[in-house]
Homo-oligomer: A and B are copies of this chain.
Amino acid sequence: MGIKERKERQKTEMRESILDASLKLFTEEGYENVTMRKIADKIEYSVGTLYLYFKDKGEIFFELHSRGFAEFYNKQLSIQHIKDPIERLKAHGEAYIRFAMEFPEYYDLMFISRVPAKEIEKFEHWEEGERTYEILKLNIRQAMEAGYFKGVDLEVAAFSLWSFVHGIASLSIRGRLKMIPEQYLQFLISGALQFISKLY
Q: Which residues on the B side are within 8 Å of A111 (C-beta)?
A: 171, 174, 176
A126, B179: Cβ atoms under 8 Å? yes
Stretch touching chain B among A17-25, A55-63, A76-84, A112-120: A112-120
Q: Which residues on the B side are within 8 Å of A125 (C-beta)?
A: 179
B159, A163: Cβ atoms under 8 Å? no
State the number of copies, please. 2
Stretch touching chain B among A3-11, A34-42, A46-54, A188-196: A188-196
Q: Which residues on the B side are within 8 Å of A126 (C-beta)?
A: 179
B112, A175: Cβ atoms under 8 Å? no
Given A163-B168, A167-B166, CB of A156 within 8 Å of CB of B188: yes
Q: Which residues on the B side are within 8 Å of A32 (C-beta)?
A: 32, 114
A175, B120: Cβ atoms under 8 Å? yes
Q: Which of B123, B164, B174, B175 is close to A164, meaning CB atoms less than 8 Å apart?
A: B164
Given A164-B160, A195-B199, CB of A174 within 8 Å of CB of B115: yes
Which chain B residue shows the least CB distance to A123?
Answer: B178
Which chain B residue shows the least CB distance to A125?
Answer: B179
A-B contact pairs, 5 of them (CB 8 A): A32-B114, A120-B178, A153-B191, A164-B164, A165-B167
Binding site for B on A (CB under 8 A): 30, 32-33, 111-115, 117, 120, 123-126, 129-130, 152-153, 155-157, 159-160, 162-168, 170-171, 174-176, 178-179, 188, 191-192, 194-196, 198-199
Given contact pairs A123-B175, A157-B195, a sample of 17 additional A-B residue pairs in the complex whose CB atoms are under 8 Å apart: A32-B32, A33-B117, A114-B174, A115-B174, A115-B175, A120-B178, A123-B178, A129-B176, A155-B188, A156-B195, A159-B188, A159-B192, A160-B191, A160-B195, A163-B167, A163-B168, A166-B170
